[in-house]
Copies of this chain bind each other. A is one copy, B any other.
Amino acid sequence: MSSACDDFRKFLHARRLKYTGEREAILQTVEQFQRPFEVEELLLELRRLNLRVSRATVYRTLRHLVGAGLVNQLFFGAGKQSYYDFLGGGRGHNYVVDVETGMILPFTSPELTALCERIAKRLGYHVVGHRFQILGRRKEPSGPAPTEK
């Protein structure tokens, strides 16, 4: 069993919540994603794998996974779906968002962590977490873009 499953089990047990088949199915499917995903995508993947879980349960479980610190939730606007990102492989809470394609590229930055601490300290706060998105546009590999018309 994955360590994430174990962590989740412990998290649930500590608050007298139950480790159900639905919750296990969701976590295992979430773990497969190699990139941030939307609820709709997760539902499709669950159905593809013949795992029957309702939309409501997916939302409820994602909330627990976020609470457990196993998954990060990204906001892109009111009325827009949240993205969720499994925090495996040392992944942090930092993303480059390609403003042209919408692609979301996670990255890690120890400098950023240090910067958070420094700023929070200056303002009299303890760091509990952070959200960081760089909005960017892909650089042309070289030379001007293909001739416009």
CB of A131 within 8 A of chain B?
A: yes
Give the residues from 106 to 149 in chain A that come closer than 8 angstroms, CB to CB, to chain B: 107, 109, 111-112, 115-116, 119-120, 123-139
Residue in B75, B79, B115, B138 whose CB lies within 8 Å of A125: B138
Contact indicator per residue, chain A 87-107, by CB within 8 Å of chain B (1) or not (0): 000000000101100000101
Cβ contacts under 8 Å, A135 to chain B:
127-131
- Per the bound structure, the CA–CA distance linking A79 and B75 in Å amounts to 10
Cβ contacts under 8 Å, A119 to chain B:
96, 107, 109, 134
CB of A54 within 8 A of chain B?
A: no
- Per the bound structure, the CA–CA distance linking A14 and B59 in Å amounts to 44
Q: Nearest B residue to A117 by beta-carbon distance?
A: B134
Q: Is the Cβ of A125 less than 8 Å from the Cβ of B120? A: no
A-B contact pairs, 23 of them (CB 8 A): A73-B77, A75-B75, A75-B77, A77-B82, A78-B78, A78-B81, A96-B119, A99-B128, A105-B123, A107-B123, A109-B115, A123-B136, A124-B139, A125-B134, A126-B137, A126-B139, A129-B134, A129-B135, A130-B132, A131-B132, A131-B133, A131-B135, A132-B133
Q: A75-B78, A120-B136 are in contact. List 18 more A-B contacts (CB 8 A).
A: A73-B77, A75-B75, A75-B76, A77-B82, A78-B78, A96-B125, A99-B129, A107-B123, A123-B136, A124-B139, A125-B134, A125-B136, A125-B138, A126-B137, A126-B139, A127-B135, A131-B132, A131-B135
